[in-house]
Amino acid sequence: MVKAQYTVSLYSSQHAAAFQEFADHFWPREDPSIDNSYSPSQVTVNESDRIENKPPTFLFLKDEAVIGHITSLPVRLSTPSAITQAHWVVRFIVLPEHRNGLVGPYLIKKVNQTLDLAMSLHVEEPVLKILKGLGWYHVGVIPQYVHVLNGYRLVRNIRAQQMSFFNQHGGFWGRGLQFLASKRLAQITMGLLAQLAVRSWLLATTSARRSGRALYVAEEHEFDSSYDSFWDRVGMKFEALVVRDRAYLQARYGRTLKHYKLLACREKDELRGFFILKIRQFQDDPRMGWLRIATIIDCLFDPSHPQSLQALLSASFKRLTGEGVDVIFCTASHRAVQELLVKNAFIKMPGNLNFAYHDRTGSINKHVSLRAWHLMRGDSDAAANF
């Protein structure tokens, strides 16, 4: 019996057929639910020559078959001292029958050897264990915030019994909420109470949310030159974030901008901030039922004058309510975003998005806290990890 050979390799055209078989297993090309806008793993055999000119894709091979995969997304990381080339590490996937072995660790070792600065946003605890074991620095878990627009529909649709948070941490109160959420009268009562709590909080924080500036918000459909000018004004005011200039935004969202909502805040004609929103309608989901949710997946603002954030949030509430959205989610690390979300009746929930990095060049100051980083679900491909 011939012993199988195991190797870790960077993708090249010789792997095209084997890689396509692996990719088709996880990402069916005809699946309309998959957002291909930022997924370098979405390739076909005919594109094999083109992918060799893309950022590194790492493969774990058993003989000629691909059994594990990681790809990377190039970005520029901005700190007050420099702009550094970096990569997000994404699509860390191993065939189920090999997940308890050394496939994952060997792939990460190859990443460590190949990339000077690699970063990861991920939800899986086994991935975090591998990363920390191989020298990655875990900055922390990014909190998640939720704002209720329609309390009754939220309570009516949420399947609390399927929520791991209630099952693992809820205890007596968690079981009580699960029981109440199954009763119609309780659903109506809890929904009304949720609406009352949100409106009361917004009323109490009215003065704190006033901007005092002549700002207006409109939906836009392209990234014009003002997005470069805005980045030039505010980018270096953050302690750490991915460069969000016009070129990045166009590469990240431009091709599929019709699937998002781009809200821009301006003072006269000068850009002061923007939101990128995504709306999702669940279809009898095991956890979310028929909820219609919106996620603030990306934004940029002036951290020294965050009034534009307030204008964007207020405009988002009006627009999303008009479109029948029940709940707004936002995962955000930066302190200015977090503080404003709380003022606007967002409830802080336990997050599940881990941020970690491996820095061979010493470009990142480890003393920069998670709340000083500006990270959201639009970074990496984390918008898919909801």
Give 245-284 pLDDT, tens digit per residue: 999 999 999 998 999 999 999 999 999 999 999 999 999 8
Distance, CA of 97 to CA of 95 (rounded, Å): 6
Domain pair 6-115 / 144-351, same fold = yes
Largest CA distance in the chain: 78
What is the mean pLDDT of the segment spanning 140-167? 77
Give 306's pLDDT tier (boundaries 50, 70, 90): confident
Mean pLDDT in residue range 139-153:
92
Structural tokens at position 379: 């970074």
User: For 158-217, how does the pLDDT look when each residue is reduced to its tens digit (9 = 90+)?
Assistant: 765 545 544 454 554 445 555 545 555 555 565 555 555 556 655 655 554 455 467 999
Parse the chain into domains and list their residue ranges: 6-115, 144-351
Cα–Cα distances in angstroms (integers) from residue 289 to residues 101, 162, 285, 326, 356, in the given order: 36, 11, 4, 12, 32
Residue 26 has pLDDT above 70, yes or no: yes
Pick the CATH number of 6-115 from 3.40.630.30, 2.60.120.10, 3.60.15.10, 3.40.50.800: 3.40.630.30
For residue 40, pLDDT beyond 60: no
With CA atoms as reference, report the closest residue to 234 among 285, 336, 304, 147.
Answer: 304
- Contact in structure between 201 and 195 (CB atoms under 8 Å): no
Summarize the confidence of residues 75-96 as an average pLDDT. Answer: 94
Rounded Cα distance, 71 and 183, in Å: 46
Secondary structure class of 308 (helix, strand, coil): helix
Domain 144-351 matching CATH 3.40.50.800: the answer reads: no
Report yes or no: 346 and 153 within 8 Å, Cβ to Cβ.
no
Cα-Cα-Cα-Cα torsion 231, 236, 240, 242, nearest 10 degrees, comes to 30
Give pLDDT, residue 43.
40
- Could you give phi then psi for residue 31, rounded to 5 degrees? -75, 110
SS3 content of the chain, % helix, strand, coil (to 5): 40, 30, 30
**What is the CA 329 to chain-centroid distance, rounded?**
11
pLDDT tens column, 269-279: 999 999 999 99
Percentage of the chain modeled with pLDDT above 70: 77
pTM of this prediction?
0.82
Mean predicted confidence (pLDDT) in 6-32: 81
